[in-house]
Amino acid sequence: MLAGLVLKTRPFRSLKPAQVIDIHRFLSILGLGALALHGITLVLDKAVSIPIVALFVPGASPYRPLWVGIGVLAAELMVVVYASFSQRKRIGAKNWRRLHYATFLVFALATVHGLVAGTDTGRPWALGVYLVATGSVLGATAFRALSPKPPAPVRAPGAAAPATTTSRPTV
């Protein structure tokens, strides 16, 4: 989430669009890998019995079914958003951008899931992780939303409009 917000902002304008996309995809796949590792460790953990089906079906967990189900929903939405990388041309840039706004929902759901279903939530280090992550995303969102849009490229009269690569939200 944070990578998507930060990579296209002012400090990284020197990166080429292809580099930004590659970095963002790489960080996204790392996030999905961490998500898979989280699910595997939950199934293998003996402290709470989590069946494999509970990783894919919201509400199927015997442990805090609502809050774990919210985490499952967030994970599934995360996979859908990641899958949209390869479908951008097919679904169109406007729809792709709209789908990417779902990452805000994913982040909120995952944060609530962690706070309520997490067994370490009450520990200072865990609360610190949640505070830093949430503060970083809120700060990057505000910075991105309040930053002036880059000037539109100048083109000759009658020339076709250039393809846009920005996914900056309009406020």
pLDDT digits (tens, 9 = 90+) for 1-21: 888 887 767 666 777 878 888
The parent domain of residue 118 ranges over 2-145
Looking at residue 60, what DSSP letter applies?
A: -
Split at pLDDT 50, 70, 90, the class of 149 is confident
Percent above pLDDT 70 for the chain: 84
Q: Give the integer Cα–Cα distance in Å for 86 and 27.
A: 15
Give 167's contacts (C-beta < 8 A, 6+ positions apart). 4, 8, 97, 100
Whether 58 is covered by a domain: the verdict is: yes
Q: Is 162 a residue whose pLDDT tops 60?
A: no
Whether 166 is covered by a domain: the verdict is: no
Looking at residue 150, what DSSP letter applies?
A: P
Enter the pTM of the model: 0.80
Domain count, the chain: 1
Whether 128 is covered by a domain: the verdict is: yes
Looking at residue 63, what DSSP letter applies?
A: S
Whether 10 is covered by a domain: the verdict is: yes
Whether 168 is covered by a domain: the verdict is: no
Whether 164 is covered by a domain: the verdict is: no
> What rounded mean pLDDT belongs to the chain?
86
Q: Are 81 and 95 in contact (CB under 8 A)?
A: no
